[in-house]
Every structure is written in C-alpha cells, then in structure tokens.
Amino acid sequence: MARRWSPAGILLSPVGLAPAAASVEAFRSAARAAAGPDGFVEIVTHDADPREPARLSALFATPGRPETRGTVLFLHGKGGCGAEWAPDVVRALGLGFNVLVPELRGHPPSTGARITYGIFETVDLGLLLDLAAERFGVNRARLGIDGCSMGALLALHLAAAVSPAALWLQAPFGDMKEMAAHYLHRATGLPAILFALPVRFLMRRIARTEGLDLSFADPVRAARRVTCPTVVVHGEDDGLVPIRFAPRVYEALAGEKTFWRVPRCGHCHHADEPQAVVRAEYERRWTEFFRPRLA
C-alpha cells in the first residue's frame, strides 16, 4: 500500500486537503426531524466489494412507506463525509423522497485503506442499493444520484452501471491525469507544471505497485454510457476542480443534459459553493430537476 506522504499515497488516501467539519450528530438529528412522525432514520452497514474487503456504513431516511417513494443517493468527495449533505437531505425528505447517504470506503466509520475512484466503489454502491431494495423496498427505477467532486466521478460510474432516473453532478472532472496533477499541486503547494509529465509515470507506477489501474476510472468513458437526464453544476471560481475540467464530461454524456455554470462560486461543500451563494436558485433548479423524474 502506498505511503500517504508519497504522491501515490496522497492520491489514494481517503484524507482530503482539509478535514471534514460537518457534525454527524447534527446531520442525523436534522434527518430525523425532516423524516417526520411517520418516517424513520436507520444506519445500515454492509460488506464492500470482496476484491478489497471493507465494512461500509450508510444512512437511510424516509418520510414513511419507502417502497412508494423515489430515492436520492448522495455521494461525497475525497476526504468528505455524509454529514456534508445535511441541507440536501432535509430538502429531499421535505419533497417526499427517501435518501441514502453512504460513507465511502476509507471514510469513517466505513473501513478500507484507500480510495479507488470508482473501481471498487461502483460495486460497493451496487451492494448498498441491493441492501436498500431488500430492506426498504427502494426501487432503482426511481433513483436519483447527486455527487460532489470525487463523488461526481463515482456517480458517473454508477449511473453507467444502473441507469438511474436522474443524475446531478457537482464539480466533475474529465481527465484523471489532469485532475491528479492539479490535486498534487494543491496538496503540496508545488507548481502544477512540475506534475504535468511525472503524473503519467505515476499512474503507471500505481498500476504496477498498487494493483490499481486508474485508466479504468476514466470519467469520459463512463459518461458516454450515461443516458439518463443529467445536470452538471460547476462554480466558475472553483479552485479545487477548475471549471475547465468539466466540459469533457458534459460533452460525453449520452442523454438529455444541462450545464449550469455558476458565477462567483467555488467548490461544492465549501463556504462559497453554489448552494450557499445562490441558494434559492439552486434549490429551485434541483427541485425542478428531480421532482418530476422521481415522482
């Protein structure tokens, strides 16, 4: 396993550039309140992709009778956590949807030593959906997915595999090497140009020494197989995933699609995210997108 202080370790570590600050207890309390007197909140655990075993945790919440409702799956980014989705979960429950919020492999309380950019997570999430269908009657035909940053990459891979009813991508990126070089620049403070060429050799080294061929995580290849209605949301001032990284994903999407470029906004789940800066418009667009497709 790559050491976390090495370039490979930085990329594969579930630790982000800054620790997740959202309160898990406040998140669960908000979900319980939004679920209402007829609903419930449950923490479920399940085994991960057996190729790299882990034990994974997720929150499921419903206003009641979950088998009769659409479900929104929320996917956090590298170093993030499910609690970051608190406003979205409250909104979704208020609209009458079920919500499913996993802690991705490597992100506590889920176990796992590394992230794999969808190579194992796609199976992990498929197993979670199987569990939700068996335990709560969740219907994949009425599934919406909302993913942020690395979670947008996982959402692409999952959407290509399970064909959800609707897909909302926040700050996606279209090139693994380009994103890796930029992330290493942000993590180390070294000029991005220093990583532009070496990252190609780094990817090959990760495949050889870590047994993880990140070319299989190619976002554009996954996007070409996504046929459901999709919205791409990207802050024009996003420094973590620059907006120039998004068009390749958008152009590759095979179904109905919209690209919302949001001026004067940064990265999702940060203080200057679109949902915080233009909250009313964000909530209106999100509601008008998901409501008819999951009803």
74-128 pLDDT, tens per residue?
999 999 999 999 999 999 999 999 999 999 999 999 999 999 999 999 999 999 9
- Please state the rounded mean pLDDT for residues 213-219: 97
Number of domains observed in the structure of the chain: 1
Residue 242 domain flag: yes
pLDDT of residue 34: 98
Residue 159 domain flag: yes
* Tokens 């992709």 sit on residue: 49
Grade residue 4 by pLDDT with cuts at 50, 70 and 90. Answer: low
Grade residue 2 by pLDDT with cuts at 50, 70 and 90. Answer: low
pLDDT of residue 114: 97
Q: Which residues contact 89 (CB under 8 A, 6 or more apart)?
A: 27, 30, 31, 34, 61, 74, 99, 101
- Please state the rounded mean pLDDT for residues 48-67: 98
CATH number of residue 179's parent domain: 3.40.50.1820
Which sign does the torsion angle of CA 195, 197, 199, 201 carry?
negative
Residue 1 domain flag: no
Grade residue 20 by pLDDT with cuts at 50, 70 and 90. Answer: confident
Tell whether the model's pLDDT for residue 21 goes beyond 90: no
Question: Has this prediction a pTM greater than 0.95?
Answer: yes
pLDDT of residue 196: 84
How far apart (Å, rounded) are the C-alpha atoms in residues 134 and 132?
A: 5
Residue 131 domain flag: yes
- Number of helices (H) and strands (E) in the chain: give both, helices first: 12, 8
pLDDT of residue 3: 53
Report H helices in the chain: 7-12, 24-35, 86-94, 121-136, 150-162, 176-188, 193-196, 198-209, 219-223, 247-252, 274-277, 279-294
Q: How many CB atoms lie within 10 A of CB 136?
A: 20
How far apart (Å, rounded) are the C-alpha atoms in residues 245 and 51?
A: 31
Structure-block tokens of residue 60 = 């499921």
Q: What domain range includes position 165?
A: 7-294
Structure-block tokens of residue 27 = 């998140």
Residue 38 domain flag: yes
Residue 145 domain flag: yes
Residue 127 domain flag: yes
How far apart (Å, rounded) are the C-alpha atoms in residues 58 and 77?
A: 15
* Highest mean predicted confidence (pLDDT) among 15-24, 30-39, 185-194: 30-39
Residue 45 domain flag: yes
Asked if residues 93 and 35 have their Cβ atoms less than 8 Å apart, the reply is yes
